[in-house]
Structures are given as C-alpha cells and as structure tokens.
C-alpha cells in the first residue's frame, strides 16, 4: 500500500498502531522497499543480507547492557566512540575522516557511529556467529525473516 504524502502515511500508521510515522522512517521508505524487492527476487541473498539496529548492537557489544546516555548527546557520542575504539582501533580516525568530508547536516555524528557499530558487529557476526531478536524468527508474507541480528 503506497502513500503519496507523509501526512497520509502517518495517519494510516496511527490508525493501525496508535503511533505516528516518524519523518525519518518516511524518508527511507523507498530504500526499504528497494531492499525488500531485492530480497524478494534474490533468494540467495536472504542468508547473507540481514537486518540489525545500532542500539541493539551497541548494547550487545557493551556486555548486554544498553548505553547509559542517549546517542544525540555529547556524553552519548563519547560513550559510544569509547566502546567502538575498544573494538576497532581506527574508530576515531574513521570518524575524523568522515567528519572532514561531510557537513553535519549531511551526516550526523551519531549516524557515523551507527554505521561503524553495524560494520564492526557484522564482522564479529561472521567470525563468532549471530544471535537474533526474537530468538525464533518469524517470516513475513513474502518469506522474509522478521528479526534483528546481533553478536
């Protein structure tokens, strides 16, 4: 079901779930649809391409504990960067290089850290194996897994 405007999509989401659709979600719906179409047409990729979430990965790699500070704060940035630096020696260098190349309005600091934790977590998942949320994955009507992976 497609919607032409954020307002109509958000209203429908509210009617279905009691929550408005975030503008961030609206902005990436096209990309989500592309990935769903790709996975729907490329069954081999379903075992390789998996979904995760940065905060799930941060918590998993933080000894199973959520981060103390929210990611949009200076303390949250420092906390996440410190964890990343323990896991990946070049974390600060990568952040500096991205920050030098892109303006903050193009790429937010927390988005850089989110990308790094997902890349670091993916590498660890390959080496150490994955865990999923929920533990037993369900399939959607298209045969795609409904899960988040983490290490």
Q: Residue 61 pLDDT > 80, yes or no?
A: yes
134 domain residue, yes or no: no
Q: What φ, ψ does residue 143 adopt, rounded to 5°?
A: 80, 15
Question: Could you list the residue range(s) of the whole structural domain that residue 9 is in?
Answer: 1-42
Q: How confident is the model at residue 143 (pLDDT cuts 50, 70, 90)?
A: confident
135 domain residue, yes or no: no
Tell me: do 122 and 66 sit in the same domain.
yes
CA distances from 107 to 31, 47, 80, 125 (A): 17, 30, 17, 26
Where in 83-139 does DSSP place strands (E)?
A: 131-139
Average pLDDT over residues 96-100: 97
Q: Residue 70 pLDDT > 70, yes or no?
A: yes
CA distances from 63 to 3, 22, 59, 85 (A): 41, 30, 7, 15
Average pLDDT over residues 25-35: 92
Closest to 148 (Cα-Cα) out of 39, 52, 48, 66: 52
What per-residue confidence (pLDDT) applies to 1?
58
* Residues 35 and 52: beta-carbon distance below 8 Å: no
Q: What is the pTM of this model?
A: 0.84
Average pLDDT over residues 21-35: 92
**Considering its fold, how many domains does the chain have in total?**
2
145 domain residue, yes or no: no
């Amino acid at each position: 079901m497609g919607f032409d405007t954020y307002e109509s999509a958000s209203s429908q989401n509210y009617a279905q779930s009691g929550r408005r659709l975030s503008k961030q979600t609206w902005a990436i719906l096209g990309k989500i649809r592309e990935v769903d179409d790709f996975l729907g047409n490329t069954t081999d990729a379903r075992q390789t391409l998996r979904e995760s979430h940065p905060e799930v990965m941060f918590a998993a790699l933080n000894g199973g504990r959520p981060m103390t500070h929210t990611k949009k704060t200076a303390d949250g940035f420092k906390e996440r960067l410190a964890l990343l630096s323990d896991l990946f020696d070049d974390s600060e260098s990568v952040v500096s290089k991205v920050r030098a190349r892109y303006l903050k309005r193009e790429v937010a600091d927390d988005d850089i850290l989110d990308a790094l934790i997902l890349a670091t977590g993916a590498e660890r998942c390959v080496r150490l194996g994955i865990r999923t949320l929920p533990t037993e994955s369900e399939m959607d009507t298209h045969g795609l897994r409904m899960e988040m992976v983490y290490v």
